[in-house]
Amino acid sequence: MSNELNGKRIAFLVANVGVEQVELTSPWSAVEAAGGRPVLVAPEKGTVQAVKGDVDKGDTFDADEAVGSASAADFDALVLPGGVANPDKLRMDADAMAFVKDFVDAGKPIAAICHAPWSLVEAGVLAGKTLTSWPSLQTDIRNAGGEWRDEQSITCRERGFTLVTSRNPDDLDAFNGALLDAFAAAG
C-alpha cells in the first residue's frame, strides 16, 4: 500500500479490558502501512488487556490517551475494534460515547467490526445507516434505526458520515481495505 493516509491520525477506541486482539492489531497495521498514525484511546491511559476469543488472554498494549481528555477534533477517523466485552464496557462510559458521537457530528469516518456497533447503538447514531456486525447484534441495530445485512463488509455514506462495518475476524482483509478507502477519501 502507498501512503494514502498521508500522516492522518486515526483513533482506535477500546476498553482497558476485552478488545479482540486481531481486530485491533490487523487494522492498526493496515493504517500504519498506508502512512497513517494510529493512536490507542481508552477510558484510562495505561494498560489495555486484549483477548483472543471470549476467554483467552492476549497481549497487553499501552493506551496513548484517556478518552476523557481526547478530542475528535484531533483525529481524522475512528476505528472501533470488537470483542464481546470491549464495546459492552465502552457503552457504559459516558466519555467514550461522547467521543464516538463527536466523530459523527464532525462528519468524520468510523470503522467498526464484529460487536463494536454496540457502541454506535448506544451513541444513538445508526438511524438511516446500513451496516453489518456479529449476527447477534442485528436486533439492537434495527431497534436503533439501522438496517442490518449479513455481508462481509459494508460502507455506508449516509446521514452525514461514512461508516465501514464488518462481521468478524474472518472479514478483516475486506474491512481493512474498506476502512483505508474511506479514511483516504475523507477530507
pLDDT digits (tens, 9 = 90+) for 83-104: 999 999 999 999 999 999 999 9
State how far the Cα of 79 lies from the Cα of 59, in Å rounded to an integer: 19
Q: What is the pLDDT of residue 2?
A: 46
pTM for this prediction: 0.97
Task: For the chain, count helices (H), then strands (E).
Answer: 6, 12
Q: What is the pLDDT of residue 1?
A: 42
Catalytic residue ranges: 114
> Helix or strand or coil: residue 97?
helix
Residue 36 buriedness (CB in 10 A; 0-12 / 13-18 / 19+):
buried
Average pLDDT for 157-167: 92
At which residue does the C-alpha cell 431497534 appear? 143
Sequence-distant (6+) residues with CB within 8 A of 81 are 12, 14, 19, 20, 23, 24, 27, 113, 114, 116
Q: What is the pLDDT of residue 160?
A: 83
State how far the Cα of 91 lies from the Cα of 39, in Å rounded to an integer: 20
Q: Which domains are delineated in the chain?
A: 9-185 (3.40.50.880)
